[in-house]
Structure 1
Amino acid sequence: MARFFDAADGGPLRLELRSLDGRDFTVLRRIGYDSDRHAEPFVVPADRETFATDLASVPRLLTWLVPRSGVFLPAAVLHDALTEPGQHLGPEVDRVEADRLFREAMIGLGTGTVRAWLMWSAVTATTMWLAPQLTRRVALVLTLGLVLVLGGLATLDLLDLWDVLPWMGQRPLVAELVWGAVFAVLVPWVLSLTWGRLWPAGTILGVALALLWHITAVLAGLYLTYLALERAVSGPAGARGEHARWSPPG
């Protein structure tokens, strides 16, 4: 059975990290992971100056849905080690397999299945972008771009500002919401067929983007407002995101 373990003594996992700058961390104690798909375990060495993990790489706008840390944290550290050449001991795997092990490890740690598949889809998008085949990058951009554009057009149609999508049109509000939801699933599924064997990730990511389009847009507006206010009050942020200390006048 797949499991994490303490690579030093074979006992239960002990994840010990040291912060480097508040965002990146180094591993202080070796961690191991056994997968049913591989004969040898994977081990993340400790105190390597060349390796650092940023935990779960989640955009700030989406941390309300997927936090940067949680029960899945050991899986995130393992994934970072597997996707950086020379940073783990054990079988060598490509990024696709590293992503799959990430999903397997998250579920084994108790992460909810929906969240685990969402996070797997997100890291698979990075794998698509970094793939040597241009067709994979084109498929990624095509999927995300069309979903965003169609989501925007569907919103304008729903608000009766622009009647352009045939499945929306001049219908009752409930009918427009139903048809909008149907095509929010159908369109990403069709586009994901360009992802080859990774089509499940394309479908999940596309559907999530389509359904969360409005929430993300609102949060983006609020976040940009906060950044503008923070810059006005605290000044420009440094390279690590720190602001100069501000004191009220007088």
Structure 2
Amino acid sequence: MDAPLEKQPRRFHDGGLPALGDFEAIPPDPDRDPRIVLERLSVEGEEQFALLRRIGYLDRVFGEILVPADIETFRTDLTSVPTIFTWLVPRTGAHLPAALLHDGLLHDPAEAPTYLADRPINRVQADRVFRDAMADTGTGLVRRWLVWSAVTTATMVKGVDTGFSRFTTWRHRIAVVVTLLLVATLGVLATLDLFDLAGIALPWMGDRPWWAELLGGLAGAVVIPACLALLWGRFRSAGFVMAIGLAVLLHVTAGVLLVTGLYLAAEKVAGLVTRRS
């Protein structure tokens, strides 16, 4: 991992407004706090937001970045997190300015950029800006590395606007799939071993007292991801965080999925009963 960054909230500032209709442009003001003004919209049944004022950010590499370039067309879903993980990374909070900035930096390479900066910023660079910006908002170290690792994993899988060759893109995709699939599989086997089910006996757990097997399982949840992360090349830090996160949170995620599934099933049954009554 990189050296810890010093929190510098003043890097975020009021990004002003472009000229709109009869209203003159309002230039960015580095001396004013950012004004996050959102309008809630429903786009094809999905909740999205329009950003009614630009956010300015002074990046350590690219200098001043303004988001969005076009106030009238830019849309965001805030922090793009699957519902089952919002208990870990909420859609809003201290990290919201950084999340909006990241949304503004991602765009279809065939279209005009949705941000204003002195030079182009590709998706890999946007992910790094996001991580640094989260540090400047005061987002905790663990949370920002989890979020950065998640968006970096998505970048590796999509391979869009990265500058990767076709071979590199597929190498990254294979590394991600192999790592996450192997960690999930070993997590299931380790659980069966811990409860002495199906005759499973992993080498690092074996047939020992439960506490010794638990310690062996925790050790495996660190050592094995560390080795698999090497497959991720320059993104090995993200691979390490993602693999360990999956290993440690596998059972919690499974529990949340189960509860979510029961809730959705109950809602569906309640809806059917209501319509029939």
Say whether the fold is shared (TM-score over 0.5).
yes
Q: Is 2:57 the counterpart of 1:33? A: yes
Cα contact 2:15–2:66 (8 A) shared by 1: no
Q: Pairwise mapping of residues 143-222 of structure 1 onto structure 2 (< 5 A)? A: 143-161=179-197, 162-222=199-259
State the match for 2:129 in structure 1.
101
Q: Is 2:58 the counterpart of 1:58? A: no
Cα contact 1:71–1:110 (8 A) shared by 2: yes
Question: Shift of the alpha carbon at 1:189?
Answer: 1.1
List per-residue Cα deviations over 1:96-155 (Å, max 9, x = no partner): 111111111011011111111111011111001111511111111111111100000000
Residues in 2 aligned to 1:73 and 1:158: alpha-carbon distance in whole angstroms: 40
Distance 1:40 1:14, change over 3 A: closer
Q: For residue 128 of structure 2, what is the amino acid of its counterpart?
A: R
Seq. identity, %: 46
- Unaligned runs of 5+ residues in structure 1 are 236-245
SS in 2 for 1:106: helix
Q: For residue 5 of structure 1, what is the amino acid of its counterpart?
A: H
Q: For residue 57 of structure 2, what is the amino acid of its counterpart?
A: Y
State the match for 1:18 in structure 2.
39
Residues in 1 aligned to 2:252 and 2:193: alpha-carbon distance in whole angstroms: 17
Report the aligned-residue RMSD: 1.7
Question: Shift of the alpha carbon at 1:174?
Answer: 1.1
State the match for 1:70 in structure 2.
93
Residues in 2 aligned to 1:164 and 1:120: alpha-carbon distance in whole angstroms: 35
Q: Is 2:209 the counterpart of 1:137? A: no
List per-residue Cα deviations over 1:173-210 (Å, max 9, x = no partner): 11111110111011111111111111001100110110
Q: For residue 80 of structure 1, what is the amino acid of its counterpart?
A: D
Give the 4+ runs in structure 1 shifted more than 6 A: none
User: How many residue pairs get matched?
Assistant: 238
What's the TM-score once normalised by structure 2's chain length?
Answer: 0.81
- Unaligned runs of 5+ residues in structure 2 are 1-7, 17-27, 160-165
State the match for 2:4 in structure 1.
none
State the match for 1:240 in structure 2.
none
Q: Pairwise mapping of residues 119-130 of structure 1 onto structure 2 (< 5 A)? A: 119-130=147-158
Cα contact 2:176–2:232 (8 A) shared by 1: yes
Question: Shift of the alpha carbon at 1:156?
Answer: 0.4
